[in-house]
A and B are shown apart, each in its own frame.
Chain A
């Protein structure tokens, strides 16, 4: 049904999206937690920056990434020289672009979930001897789980389908940065590519639809948040 080449593309896309989520999820959770719970200078700015990838044209995001994290970019050079992490024109860069683009989709549902948690529960846990980490792990994360899962799945789907920022940042290199949507774009450039494009398109539609349905299903099934305790 799918050729080896297509399987490579799908495998790469899944790898890129998974890596993007693995890094972006904790960062997004921390951001959502800070936005939901803390009042600090620059909070409004953080909020704006967080939603920026959603409103900026993806090309702009990609171009900014290219300037900062490209081979000659300051952040890119720093990370390469310090921890040996290279983004420029590598699949890691595709993951970075996907993670950045999916970030707002992760933060928002998490934040809503976190804001719905009764702070009194954390206070109660505190009087029972729990430290901050234990409260986070045993109270906050479980109660925010609907938001974390919904955001994670939606973000994963977005990461799988990211195009504009990726092609601008890390180009369209087969086997390295040519993910699903970039492959579809390339196939559409040639008249003989229609059939193959259609197969990949169907695959992404199924994947996206499945993700959104799964996300909805999880949101509906998970126990309600802290404020809905009294029924």
Chain B
């Protein structure tokens, strides 16, 4: 199945469900789209789900949405540098806070938590104790600079096993790489986001980290200047039942932490 086809299918589905479940999205009669597509800056890990949500939004409102995906940090700096984005979807709250400090003039609304994520261990073996799972070579994002890696390290430290297992770790540039190492069998396990885990049907979730052991992984959205009515409507949709359903479908947890 091609990506385009998949996206269309999702859009159709979203259109149907959206029309039935969510009158709050608004209708084409009431919403003015503006002369350019609504430009959304989204963290790369949200690529899939935001494209699906945007397709649903466009189907319902006929307002086109353009999504620029990159690292949250890069996007935040571009917004500070004057990027014409109208909505910023960050993979964490840090970069939203950073924006509030460094480019307060670009922000036109309070940050809203859209979803949460959690860390899990995936692999092909059977579920086991964390120390056993990580006793052979495993992959995780680089704790030096990748957020997922930082969270994983914090969690492992809280569990008191970090010093024992650190020497088995293979640090990767991003979470997806860690996942694919596990998928190809280069490592026996990998520490990834729960949303990543569902991408590889061949891998099982062997362990779920306790949310209390690491900082909350929150996806935050903030409206930017120039967002207009359309930007607000899209954010409302994401935070509303229709958007939450799409997010859940892609493995995200609700803002309150429920699956």
Contacts and interface: CB of A to CB of B under 8 A. Distances in A.
Do A and B come from the same complex? yes
A195 interface: yes
B165 interface: no
B131 interface: no
Interface string A133-172: 0000000000000000000000000000000000110011
Interface in B1-23: 1-4, 6-7
B176 A171 contact: no
Nearest to B198: A191
Given A3-B4, A71-B83, A195-B2, A190 B48 contact: yes
Interface stretch (B39-47, B111-119, B208-216): B39-47
B48 A189 contact: yes
A66 interface: yes
Contact of A190 (B1, B47, B75): B47
B68 A70 contact: no
Interface residues of A, number: 35
A71 B78 CA distance: 9
Interface in B44-64: 44-45, 47-48, 51
B74 A173 contact: no
Interface in A58-94: 59, 63, 66-67, 70-73, 88-89
Contacts of A230: none
A127 interface: no
B199 A191 contact: yes
B60 to A, nearest CB: 20
Contact of B83 (A171, A189, A193): A171
The 7 tightest CB contacts between A and B, nearest first, are A71-B82, A70-B81, A189-B47, A190-B48, A192-B6, A191-B199, A196-B3
